[in-house]
Amino acid sequence: MSFCQLPNLTTAVLLALAACSATPAQTLDSAPQPGRPTPNEQPAPVRRWSVEANLLWPIFPGNIYSAKVLRTLYSKGRTAGEAYVGLLHRPYEFRAEEGRFSNSALLFGYRQYVWKGLNAEWYNAIGPGRLEGSVVDGRSYRSTDYEVGVLVGYTVRFNEQRKLPLYVNLQPLGFSYVAYQSNRHPIVGQTAETPIYVGAVQVGVRF
């Protein structure tokens, strides 16, 4: 090879290197992987907000209505954490051991996803409780009540590609406890509050 051919060879090498650099090497992160969208697929949009309502409590134990707004605080792998705030209302109902009772509450709490849809939730409810015509002494009571509870369940999500994807959080295990009452009313056969079993079926949309 003569020296006069070197410029042509150098030019060819530079062009080849430029072509290679224009096409980045496929790494483990860029290669198609199971569960990851391929170049022809549209990735699901990031959704950090959701609203949900409890569809079980109006039926069982009955006459309780609640809804809340949730915000995803972090999401890493198969775990995530959500904080929420909401409202709960129970219209007046007659209780044989108490009288006509009603209460409303501000809800706030935290939900932790520990693996895929498996989650545990801690909630607080604080607000006014009202009793009319106590069956024990005939008096009416006004109280500020504070209730705490824990729920464990699994969330099933539907079609993340939709504009408002639906999800259902089935929470069959849990308990609640009225931890504080500023003016406790009497209950027939009961001298103190005790934890009670609760479950929930939360239905919501993400956006």
pLDDT (tens place) for every residue of the chain, 207 residues total: 443 443 454 445 444 434 443 444 333 233 344 445 444 545 556 789 999 999 999 999 999 999 999 999 999 988 999 999 999 999 999 999 999 999 999 999 999 999 999 999 999 999 999 999 999 999 999 999 999 999 999 999 998 788 889 999 999 999 999 999 999 999 999 988 999 999 999 999 999
- Residue 102 to residue 145: CA distance in whole angstroms: 12
Q: Report yes or no on 159 lying in a domain.
A: yes
Q: Report yes or no on 186 lying in a domain.
A: yes
- Closest CA relative to residue 123, chosen from 184, 167, 179: 179
Using a 10 angstrom Cβ sphere, with 0-12 exposed, 13-18 middle and 19 or more buried, the burial of residue 142 is exposed
Q: Report yes or no on 57 lying in a domain.
A: yes
Q: Report yes or no on 149 lying in a domain.
A: yes
- Closest CA relative to residue 53, chosen from 66, 36, 40: 66
DSSP letter for 187, please: B
The total number of structural domains in the chain stands at 1
Q: What is the CATH number of the domain that holds 175?
A: 2.40.160
Q: Report yes or no on 169 lying in a domain.
A: yes
* Count of beta carbons in the 10 Å neighbourhood of residue 153: 22
Q: The whole model's pTM is what?
A: 0.76
The range of the structural domain enclosing residue 66 comes to: 49-206
- Residue 136 to residue 139: CA distance in whole angstroms: 8
Q: Report yes or no on 167 lying in a domain.
A: yes
Q: Report yes or no on 92 lying in a domain.
A: yes
Q: Report yes or no on 30 lying in a domain.
A: no
- Residue 126 to residue 176: CA distance in whole angstroms: 13
Q: What is the pLDDT of residue 129?
A: 98
